[in-house]
Amino acid sequence: MTRSAIAVVDTSAFVANYRYAKSLAPRARALAVIKANGYGHGAVRLARCLGDEADAFAVACTEEAMELRESGIRQPIVLLEGVFEPQEIDNAALCAFGIVIHALHQVEWLERAKPSQQLNVWIKIDTGMHRLGFAPDELSSVLSRIKAIPHVADIVLMSHFARADETASDATERQLALFDRAVAGQTLACSVANSAGIIAWPGAHRDWIRPGIMLYGSSPIADPSDTPSPLLPVMHLESRLIAVHQLAAGESIGYGARYTCERETRVGVVAMGYADGYPRHAVDGTPVAVNGQRTRLIGRVSMDMLTVDLSDQPHAQVGDHVQLWGDLVSANEVAACSQTISYELFTKVTRRVHFRYR
């Protein structure tokens, strides 16, 4: 018998989430963001499922894009951090990778390059994130240099939001206003919306949306309204009970004796730990589903195991099914209980977990 920690990836949910993102911005094209191995879900598998339906894909770097090309993915691919070395430009043109240009050294590399074909360029403007991009008042000079480069095909103007998930903040509107002022008078295509922008800021949809986390079924909006999200979870992280004990009141569980039983407690041990990518910081009470019924984590998460309260499941036994996140327990809930975000949970599932695609 093999260890039972698995991630079941529902590829039809991924496709449905992509269609939902497109339906929110029906006039825009979409860059399906599958950087970091498709947020830990398997970029090649997901890209294949979306196939021709994707307008284009986005990844962080050449290595990630090459993996898709070598697996036969033919859609345009955009490198969100652009190139790290000038030598990457020839390859990008050859492989139909669009490149983000966010700094002057990349403009110089592009001017000096002699690629055998033209390539698309996404010029990044910093409207307040203060990570990558040109200041708004640098745009006109950068743009005239890039327009003069013969091997540049299409140009898209882009920016990135820092707080689009905070619907009560005016930060996104201020970023949009700065963007609009910077690109005024240009007829080039524009792209600003990540998932939160797509869901919460219709004025940000523009010509290209860039959905990431929403494709994986996780809403980026911190405080969703009462309406249930139409997003479908893609990853179901699952395992099984490998031991069940009855502990007397006053007994403690696991390292550091973090949890002490208040009464006689039935405790289940699950084959899932931080070495599988389950967050070690998850607090007592973090939801876990056993046999389809929600219960709670009790005791510190260890490397290969975690422990759950089976008080309400007197018949639960070794081999029974456990869901750590998926349709019964959302990754956002687990993230909130462990001081992180679903993005980090998904990208940290380790190779010890077997991935199954359905």
Ligand X SMILES: *Cc1c(COP(=O)(O)O)cnc(C)c1O
Amino acid at residue number 159: S
Q: Are 47 and 68 a contacting pair, CB within 8 Å? A: yes
**Shortest Cβ distance from residue 256 to ligand X (Å)?**
34
Task: Tell me the chain's radius of gyration from C-alpha atoms.
Answer: 23
Name the residue nearer to ligand X (CB basis): 9 or 80. Answer: 80
Decide: is 205 part of the binding site for ligand X (CB under 6 A): no
Q: Which residue is nearest to ligand X (CB)?
A: 212
Name the residue nearer to ligand X (CB basis): 171 or 275. Answer: 171
**Contacts of 90 by beta carbon, 8 Å cutoff, 6+ apart:** 113, 114, 115, 116
Stretch that binds ligand X, among 106-114, 205-213, 325-333, 345-353 (CB under 6 A): 205-213
Sign of CA dihedral 77, 79, 84, 89: positive
Name the residue nearer to ligand X (CB basis): 291 or 347. Answer: 347
The alpha carbon of residue 87 and the mean position of all alpha carbons in its chain are separated, in whole angstroms, by: 29
Decide: is 210 part of the binding site for ligand X (CB under 6 A): yes
Residues touching ligand X: how many (CB under 6 A)? 11
Decide: is 33 part of the binding site for ligand X (CB under 6 A): yes
Per-position b or e across 120-159, b if 16+ CB within 10 A of its CB:
bbbbbbbbbbeebbbebeebeebbebbeebebbeebbbbb
Task: List Cα–Cα distances, 230 to 251, 252, 314, 316, in angstroms.
Answer: 43, 41, 34, 32
**Residue 302: helix, strand or coil by DSSP?**
coil
Decide: is 40 part of the binding site for ligand X (CB under 6 A): no
Say how far apart CA 62 and CA 72 lie, in whole Å: 15
Give the residue, chosen from 128, 211, 217, 279, that forms a contact with ligand X under the rule CB under 6 A: 211
Structure token pair of residue 51: 């196939």
Decide: is 219 part of the binding site for ligand X (CB under 6 A): no
Decide: is 128 part of the binding site for ligand X (CB under 6 A): no
Give the residue, chosen from 217, 220, 277, 299, that forms a contact with ligand X under the rule CB under 6 A: 220
Question: Distance from first CA to last CA of the chain, Å, rounded?
Answer: 22
Binding mask 157-176 for ligand X (x = CB under 6 A): ---x----------------
Decide: is 217 part of the binding site for ligand X (CB under 6 A): no
- 274 is a catalytic site residue: no
Strand partners, 8: 236, 356
Stretch that binds ligand X, among 105-113, 179-187, 209-217, 255-263 (CB under 6 A): 209-217
Decide: is 212 part of the binding site for ligand X (CB under 6 A): yes
> Which strands form 152-158's sheet, in the order they lie side by side?
189-191, 152-158, 119-124, 97-101, 77-79, 56-59, 29-33, 208-209
Decide: is 200 part of the binding site for ligand X (CB under 6 A): no
**Shortest Cβ distance from residue 291 to ligand X (Å)?**
32
Give the residue, chosen from 37, 62, 106, 195, that forms a contact with ligand X under the rule CB under 6 A: 195
- 124 is a catalytic site residue: no
Name the residue nearer to ligand X (CB basis): 30 or 288. Answer: 30
Name the residue nearer to ligand X (CB basis): 196 or 306. Answer: 196
**Residue 7: helix, strand or coil by DSSP?**
strand
The alpha carbon of residue 297 and the mean position of all alpha carbons in its chain are separated, in whole angstroms, by: 25
Decide: is 80 part of the binding site for ligand X (CB under 6 A): yes
Name the residue nearer to ligand X (CB basis): 22 or 35. Answer: 35
Name the residue nearer to ligand X (CB basis): 59 or 298. Answer: 59
Nearest 5°: phi and psi at 111? -65, -40
Amino acid at residue number 351: R
Catalytic residue among 22, 35, 39, 274: 35
Q: Using the structure block, give the residue that is written with the tokens 């219960």.
A: 295
Decide: is 93 part of the binding site for ligand X (CB under 6 A): no
Name the site residues for ligand X (rule: CB under 6 A). Answer: 33, 35, 80, 160, 194-195, 210-213, 220
Residues labelled as active-site residues: 35, 255
